[in-house]
Amino acid sequence: MTEFLPVFFVFAMGLALLVYVVLDGFDLGIGILLPLASEPHKDVMISSIGPFWDANETWIVLGVGILLIAFPQAHGIVLTALYTPVTIMLFGLILRGVAFDFRVKAGDDRRGLWNNAFFAGSLVASMAQGWMLGAYITGLQDNTTSLAFAALIAVTLPALYVMLGAAWLMIKTEHALFEHAMRWGKNAWLPMGAGLLLVSVATPLVSSEIAARWFTLPNAIGLVPIPVTCAAAYLGIGWLLRRPDVLRAGYAKAVFIGLVLICLMAAFGLAYSLYPDIILGRMTLFEAAAHSSSLQFIFWGVAVTLPLIAAYSIYVYRVFGGKTTALSYE
């Protein structure tokens, strides 16, 4: 039981953060796409995420909360090293939340200001998350190589979020906005692919430990399904985006599913690269874990909370399924 609990908590934390990337990723992507749309389409885009975006952010709270209570030593190191990007991300999320509400209450002459604020908050939060991911993968090292790698992911992660946002709009909208979403997704497809390729190539270069885990036989053979699945999903998405008739026939969900598959494979790859470390090269998850009595106490809370949040999220997505209607301020 003592050995099982740290693994359970790191799995729960990783799952929460993965779900956050997918669900809040399309929220952030729609925010980044907002300046490209006409005013009526902006309202529909905001309406498409209205019932979901607050619930989506619950997952990052759960993930960081698990890090705090289950791995307090790692929490202190991670949050100290990432203090600046975390603060920037929070400012971006706050700005986005304020803009989301104020654009409804502002008059027509002020709505443009809050639309721009929603865009800025979404872009800033996305880039900050990319920086944090890059810094974490390199073991929170403060050197030129690690900073360059963090900057690389900060620049490329928004392309993934834009793809998620465009895919969500294809699922939730119709007519002209659907056509725009197809074009936005097609335009973001190559930048996202370039970002995935650059990050995949750079990761083993910036970390000799990760390179050894990935390119040592027989491990390398067993890991082949991860890049192969990512490549197949990426090419499948590109095939769909070049066939508008297929997407209009109701297969837009396949684009979103392909993106989720890419995120899932990336998460598997990251988990393999790090395990058993929770901070690469500095601390294992067993060293960082709280006392076994504390883990046993909080186990039941997480075991109950995680399924409840999942059930609530599924319920919300079922209730508000279907196409988005025009936004009303009545």
Summarised one tens digit per residue, pLDDT across range 168-200 is: 999 998 889 999 999 999 999 999 999 888 888
Looking at residue 95, its amino acid is L
Quick check: 147 and 82 in contact, CB under 8 A? no
Share of the chain above pLDDT 90, in %: 43
Phi and psi at residue 218, in whole multiples of 5°?
-90, 5
Higher pLDDT, 59 or 222: 59
What is the rounded average pLDDT for all residues in the chain?
A: 88
Q: Would the pLDDT of 30 be above 90?
A: yes
Q: Would the pLDDT of 73 be above 70?
A: yes
Summarised one tens digit per residue, pLDDT across range 150-172 is: 999 999 999 999 999 999 999 99
Q: What is the pLDDT of residue 21?
A: 92
Cα angle: 263, vertex 266, 268; to 5 degrees: 110
Q: 36: which DSSP letter?
A: G
Which residues lie across from 283 on neighbouring strands?
A: 279
Q: What is the pLDDT of residue 146?
A: 87
Measured between alpha carbons, how far is 60 from 18 in angstroms, rounded to an integer?
A: 9
DSSP assignment of 55-122? HHHHHHHHHHHHHHHH-HHHHHHHHHHTHHHHHHHHHHHHHHHHHHHHHHHS-HHHHHHHHHHHHHHH
Measured between alpha carbons, how far is 132 from 150 in angstroms, rounded to an integer?
A: 7
Quick check: 28 and 125 in contact, CB under 8 A? yes
Q: Would the pLDDT of 330 be above 80?
A: no
Summarised one tens digit per residue, pLDDT across range 273-326 is: 888 889 888 889 998 998 888 888 889 888 899 999 999 888 888 888 777 766
Q: What is the pLDDT of residue 88?
A: 95
H or E element, residue 278: strand 277-279
Q: Where in the chain are the domains? A: 4-319
Q: What is the pLDDT of residue 231?
A: 93
Q: How many residues does the chain have?
A: 330
H or E element, residue 208: helix 208-214
- Residue spans of beta strands (DSSP E) within 108-210: none
Q: Would the pLDDT of 234 be above 90?
A: yes
Q: Six-digit token pair at 98?
A: 């304020």
Q: Which of 25, 4, 8, 56 is nearest to 316 (CA)?
A: 56
Summarised one tens digit per residue, pLDDT across range 36-55 is: 988 888 888 988 888 887 78
DSSP assignment of 223-269? TTHHHHHHHHHHHHHHHHHT-HHHIIIIIHHHHHHHHHHHHHHHHHH
Torsion of CA 5, 7, 13, 14, to 10 degrees: -170
Q: Would the pLDDT of 265 be above 90?
A: yes
Q: What is the pLDDT of residue 2?
A: 61
Share of the chain above pLDDT 70, in %: 97
Measured between alpha carbons, how far is 84 from 64 in angstroms, rounded to an integer?
A: 16
147's CB contacts (< 8 A; 6+ apart) are none
